[in-house]
Amino acid sequence: MGDGYTVAVVGAGLVGEKLVSELRRRNFPAREIRVLARTARTATLAGEEFEIGVAEPDAFEGVDFAFFAGTEGEKGAAVQLAREAIDRGAIVIDNGSDFRLDPDVPLVVPEVNADALENHNGLIANANCSTITMLLPLAPLIRTFGVKRVIVSTYQAVSGSGREGVEALEDGREGVYPRQIAGNAIPLIGSVGEDGYTTEERKMRLESRKILDLPDLEVFPTAVRIPVHTGHSESVYVETEREVSLDEVIEVLRSAPGVTFSGDANDYPTPLEAAGESNTYVGRVRVEGNSVQFWCVADNLLKGAATNAVQIAESLVGARV
């Protein structure tokens, strides 16, 4: 691979475009970036013109890394084409949720469980954007102080629903959300299951358990869509095994990889500031006995999707930048 890898990006939507920009910004050793979608066309992504090809099995000939950012489900790109790409020699990194809980598929946030990459079978799943955002500060806290339960409320941006979500906010497009999103807050993301939790909430619970290798971890999420363009915010409460002090928590958060935390009680991150950045930003830390509360924000299209996916590929090629 002296002159770099052949990379496919499946999907030319919000995440697909960020994948292109992150591959370039992080100097991923790509000799070719092949963008694939449902229809062939010429399009500009991240300032670069691409001849977009149709995502079909033969389009993966010669591809070393295939980043999937198409739609999910039975007819979605990953379910239809991931195996075809792997059979042609590619390593697939999937941004969707189709394979995340498959025991044969590593579900990876590199700062938290890069070791899970050791036994991959060609397919690696990127975690849910809200899960990634929360786990960067939460994992080191749990690993240092132990955990009894986690309670989290999210404030999620419309770009988390792709181009349609942005159009729902900016142009009043109907049919994307169950209620009007402009000027509103919608406490239902995905569909409600028999237990009352939504699909998004179940992702946060089940993916956290898998990534942290804590199958019984108690996670109680409430996922809320708000009229913000980009940047998922979360209010997190974690009950630790032992009593902790504010100084101890600050020390853990300051040294947590992928976390930016000033330690100033009056400093807090917002989605506007986190948008365009790669880390999870943390603020409003409060500690009392066994209770730790904090506020965190990350760019759902970057660390919540494209940056995390490119970091996974970097871990595999050892090409840190």
Ligand X SMILES: NC(=O)c1ccc[n+]([C@@H]2O[C@H](COP(=O)([O-])OP(=O)(O)OC[C@H]3O[C@@H](n4cnc5c(N)ncnc54)[C@H](OP(=O)(O)O)[C@@H]3O)[C@@H](O)[C@H]2O)c1
Q: How far apart are CA 18 and CA 12, in angstroms?
A: 9
Which residues in 64-123 contact ligand X (CB under 6 A)?
Answer: 69-72, 76-77, 80, 95-96
Q: What is the 3-state secondary structure (H, E, C) of 190-249?
A: CCECCCCCEHHHHHHHHHHHHHHCCCCCCEEEECCECCCCCCEEEEEEEECCCCCCHHHH
What x/- string results for residues 24 through 43 when contact with ligand X is judged by CB under 6 A?
A: -------------xxx----
DSSP annotation of 90: P
Q: How far is the CB of 241 from ligand X (least distance, A)?
A: 31
Least CB distance from residue 168 to ligand X, whole Å? Answer: 12
The least distance separating ligand X from the CB of residue 213, rounded to whole angstroms, comes to 22
Residue 13 binds ligand X, judged by CB under 6 A = yes
Cβ closest to ligand X, residue 100 vs residue 120: 100
Residues 85, 211, 275, 305: which binds ligand X (CB under 6 A)? 305
Environment class of residue 101 by beta-carbon count within 10 Å: exposed (0-12), middle (13-18) or buried (19+)? Answer: middle
Q: Which is nearer to ligand X, 7 or 77 (CB)?
A: 77
Question: Three-state DSSP class for 92?
Answer: strand
Report if residue 301 touches ligand X, rule: CB under 6 A: yes
Nearer to ligand X, 97 or 240 (CB): 97
Site membership for ligand X, residue 16 (CB under 6 A): yes
DSSP secondary structure string for all residues of 117-151: GGG--SEEEEPPHHHHHHHHHHHHHHHHH--SEEE
Please say whether the beta carbons of 154 and 187 come within 8 A.
no
Give yes or no for residue 277 binding ligand X (CB under 6 A). Answer: no
Question: Whose CB is nearest to ligand X?
Answer: 13
Query: What does the block give as tokens for 84?
Result: 């075809």
Q: Is 14 near ligand X (CB under 6 A)?
A: yes
Out of 120, 229, 232, 296, the active site residue is: 232
19 close to 311: Cβ distance less than 8 angstroms:
no
129 is catalytic: yes
Binding status of residue 15 toward ligand X by CB under 6 A: yes
In the complex, minimum distance from the CB of residue 56 to ligand X, in angstroms, rounded to a whole number: 9
Q: By C-beta, is 3 or 174 nearer to ligand X? A: 174
# chain residues binding ligand X, by CB under 6 A: 30
Per the listing, tokens 């033969």 go with: 58
Is residue 199 near ligand X by the rule CB under 6 A?
no
Residues numbered 144 to 163 that lie near ligand X (CB under 6 A) are: 159-160, 162-163
What's the number of CA atoms in the CB half-sphere (13 Å) around residue 99?
26
Amino acid at 230: T
- Phi then psi for residue 311, to 5 deg, are -60, -40
Is residue 77 within 8 Å of residue 93, measured between CB atoms?
no
**Site of interaction with ligand X (CB under 6 A):** 10-16, 37-39, 55, 69-72, 76-77, 80, 95-96, 129, 159-160, 162-164, 300-301, 304-305
Residues serving a catalytic function are 129, 232
